[in-house]
Structure 1
Amino acid sequence: MKNQKEYQEVLRTITAVERYINPRSVILHHYSKCGQDFYAKPIWLVGKYSQLPIIASSIRLDKIVVIV
């Protein structure tokens, strides 16, 4: 990836909020499925060993009902 446009095309449901600098710089992202913002290095999100942030798979606590 050489620029912001190439990086955004690879991300799909995640939007880079801050300008893409290089694969190792920490930048702000927005995950459209849950509406959360998070900081990550592009190299963590794209590539052979890519990882989604924990918030992407977390459950919403306000939807849990506890029956006693």
Structure 2
Amino acid sequence: MKCMNCGHEGKLDQFKLISLKYAGGDRCCGPTFSVRECPKCGKEQTVDTDRELFMEVSQGRIKEEKK
């Protein structure tokens, strides 16, 4: 994940979770967005959580669990 304000890059879990938002309004269906705070500059930004996790797995930044 990359901060849109200062350019800091890190894994999704390094950015403090502030709140969750759902694309379907108050219902928990559809894509999940999270509001994250940058550990470097403190600016909050809305993140497509599913997309960021997919990018981290596909780029090898986190390991996919194998059963």
TM-score band by shorter chain is 0.3 to 0.5
Report which of the two has the higher share of helix: 1
TM-score, normalised relative to structure 2: 0.41
